[in-house]
Chain A
């Protein structure tokens, strides 16, 4: 990041030596620190000389809890990682476990399409919330409510699909819990059309708004080299010019069958991060269109009793089904011993699950590589020498999600 030198002001180093600074607390309960993170800022006037970022207020022992749950019981926990895009977490975890089980190729095609669709819907809701919340913190409350309204349409659709508005727990090892509802495609098409309108309204209000651009442009610039050094992935990394998208570079599920572009920024400032997110929403929408055309009827779980629950009819009528069901509930899916790192493109970047199995039905170790956490570590460096007001768009565009960052 290029040092911003302001004429007539003292050097930050001199200030740190003298005691001419004010320490100010932002968070953990501060209007802009959504997801409870605490920033301790050393400021001179409104300029930030040094800052200390303290995450961890939302730590819920995800990794430890996962060790006591069967593989399928971990899904509700993953919902609560990035609670703006729970489906992506579900899919990511399922894919990691399936790699260990070595059944990645056996997953029915329809399931793969369903996973991509719900995942992309979740990506849209994630980005919508990020843009909306950032706009709200910059004073554009109207945009926030417009986007939240759109998000709610998608939430309702997913609620119809799996019964929950936010914590879906929809994906299972080897499949998904329900098939798509009858009018899922019809509703999705309708929602996408309406979303297009709302997005264009949002763009009118933000993209070329002088005040908004002034607030976002040239704020918290991260060069490509810095982005790589800090481990940026996802929209933040791509805004810095890092052309890396797991969906494109290491295709999983049926992403290689879809045509989509990966938007890459030039300047690496907050405005680029906003534009990348906006473009990704549009790309996700086009992916959904393609999925709706390509998806075909078929089974939604792997036809393997060791991995998937037997049908209820079998459970009640056959001894094998009954026992398989019992073993699933009590012991969980037996995953061969070994370790794997399964990574997918989450809402904020590369979402990785590192799973070690000791051959039982519960993970021996389950570590999450959360994109929020790696991005957040660059925050002190991004806001150094910026103004207090710059913290808001910077933090907003990092889209740090407490649940995912603190796990």
Chain B
């Protein structure tokens, strides 16, 4: 019985449901409210706070429910001359790749269901050991990795998948039969392609240090000591990756494809839920980018100084059992993700927008050489250390 449950829990589909449907999507929906509310707080106004069910108001959190109902209720308009097939395909292409990309995110440590209430630790020679208890091979045989797919080429997979999202925005602009949308689509494709190069290259240094492309392994290697985290090892890469990642989400200061005061945006002809899909995919991307940055540069689910068997702080060890440690680590992951979501919203409401040519110059003439330089310096330092 328990074995069956463990098998089910370890099945990627179940983990996908938990991570994407039960965490990422609700958080993304909440972000639509949080963005408006947070911007309102920044801008000294109240923001949306009235949506309610009866007397339940919850500071307006229910606004995202109202938004969905509104979007469902709207007319699904397709312009007369639009390419109907591509017009309908575009929002799907924008939304689905992000949902798939979540597969590579390690959102928690490996859980050993048979040793939940034991204090366990990793030993270099013996592997996993239980403190003051008896463990047989079965204890370690069953495990739940809190990562949907553990694939060696994890980050390559992510870059490949996310490229599809470009098609979504570009096709949306192109198939709408609208000049402004076309300009938006062109901007989107040029911007996203340029920034993907930087995005990939900025991580090269990290790959060199970690020797792996698998995010789960990268998180494990960063360990519980913050000075071993990616942000310390690769601070430049973090800045580059973060900038490029924001450019990928197409949000201010990189919101040129939308550029609401200039060209109104690539999705100008979309309405109702189709528009909602673009809108939501933007926020899901925020969540995804936050998760990725957390994993690559901020130790993922690692809690500072929390080892497998407890907290190592000021020379003393506070022993904790496996389930406490695991829960703390998942909580730490969630907190870090929330922080970066918040941070991205802060940036969104502080900075003005770039101009297309300046954006390209920034991408190709500043970020890309810097990424290359970062890779080279990292490689040279690694060579020197060896």
Query: Which residues of A (261-295) have their CB < 8 Å from a CB of B?
Result: none
- Which of under 10, 10 to 19, 20 to 34, or 35 or more describes the interface residues of A? 20 to 34
CB closest chain-B residue, reference A31: B261
Q: Which chain A positions have C-beta within 8 A of B259?
A: 389
Q: Which of B160-168, B192-200, B228-236, B348-356 contacts A (4 or more CB under 8 A)?
A: B348-356
- The minimal Cβ–Cβ distance linking B354 to chain A, given in whole angstroms, is 6
Given A22-B179, A389-B259, A139-B353 contact (CB < 8 Å): yes
CA distance A139 to B259 in the complex (A): 8
Q: Are B44's CB and A211's CB within 8 A? A: no
One of A135, A137, A146 near B44 (C-beta < 8 A): A146
Query: Which residues on the A side are within 8 Å of B256 (C-beta)?
Result: 389
User: In angstroms, how far is the closest chain B Cβ from the Cβ of A50?
Assistant: 16
**A146 cross-chain contacts in B, Cβ below 8 A:** 43-44
Question: Least Cβ distance of B148 to chain A in Å?
Answer: 35
* Cα(A135)–Cα(B187), bound, Å: 21
CB distance from B38 to the nearest CB of A (A): 11
- Alpha-carbon gap, A120 to B185, bound state (A): 45
CA distance A391 to B183 in the complex (A): 15
A58 on the B face (CB < 8 A):
no
Cα distance, A120 to B358, chains bound together (Å): 38
What 0/1 readout, one digit per residue, does chain B (340-364) give for beta carbons within 8 Å of chain A?
Answer: 0000000001111111111000000
Which among A212, A389, A391 has the greatest number of chain B C-beta atoms within 10 A?
A389
Does B100 sit within 8 A of A, measured CB to CB?
A: no
Chain A positions within 8 Å of B253 at CB level: 139, 211
Asked if A387 and B44 sit within 8 Å, CB to CB, the answer is no
The DSSP consensus for interface residues of chain A is helix
Indicate the size class of the contact surface on chain B. 20 to 34
Give which listed residue, A141, A390, A391, contacts B349 with CB less than 8 A: A141
Q: How far is the CB of A150 from chain B (nearest CB, A)?
A: 11
A137 x B261 contact (CB < 8 A): yes
- Cβ-defined contact, B355 with A139, below 8 A: no
Q: A139-B253, A142-B42, A145-B44 are in contact. Are A390 and B355 (CB under 8 A)?
A: yes
Rounded to whole angstroms, the CA-CA distance of A214 and B357 in the bound complex is 11
Contact string against A for B residues 244-268, beta-carbon threshold 8 Å, 1 for contact and 0 otherwise: 0000000011011001111110000
- The answer to whether A389 and B352 touch across the interface, beta carbons within 8 angstroms, is no
Chain B residues with Cβ below 8 Å from A11 are none
Q: Is B324 part of the contact surface with A, judged by Cβ < 8 Å?
A: no
Residues in A with CB closer than 8 Å to B353 are: 138-139, 211, 215, 389
Report whether A389 and B355 are in contact in the complex, using a CB–CB cutoff of 8 Å.
yes
Q: Is B32 interfacial (CB 8 A cutoff)?
A: no
Residue of A whose beta carbon sits closest to that of B256? A389
Measured between alpha carbons, how far is A205 from B355 in the docked complex, in Å? 18
**Residues of chain A contacted by B179 (CB below 8 angstroms):** 22, 24
A residues 106-149 in Cβ contact with B at 8 Å: 135-142, 145-146, 149
Instruction: Give, as a whole number of angstroms, the nearest-CB distance from A52 to chain B.
Output: 16
Once the chains bind, are A46 and B264 in contact (CB under 8 Å)?
no
Q: Which residues on the A side are within 8 Å of B352 (C-beta)?
A: 135, 138-140, 209, 211-212, 215
Contacts of B263 in A (CB 8 A): 388
Q: With the chains together, A214 CA to B179 CA distance in Å? A: 26
Also in contact, A140 and B351, with CB within 8 A (given A46-B183, A149-B44): yes
User: When the two chains form their complex, are residues A139 and B255 in contact, meaning their CB atoms are under 8 A apart?
Assistant: yes
A55-B350 Cα distance, complex, nearest whole Å: 33
Say yes or no for B180: interface residue by CB 8 A criterion: yes
Distance (whole angstroms) from the CB of A201 to the closest CB of chain B: 11
7 contacts between A and B (CB under 8 A): A135-B352, A141-B39, A141-B349, A214-B355, A387-B357, A388-B263, A390-B355
Residue ranges of B at the interface with A (Cβ–Cβ < 8 Å): 39, 42-45, 179-180, 183, 187, 252-253, 255-256, 259-264, 349-358
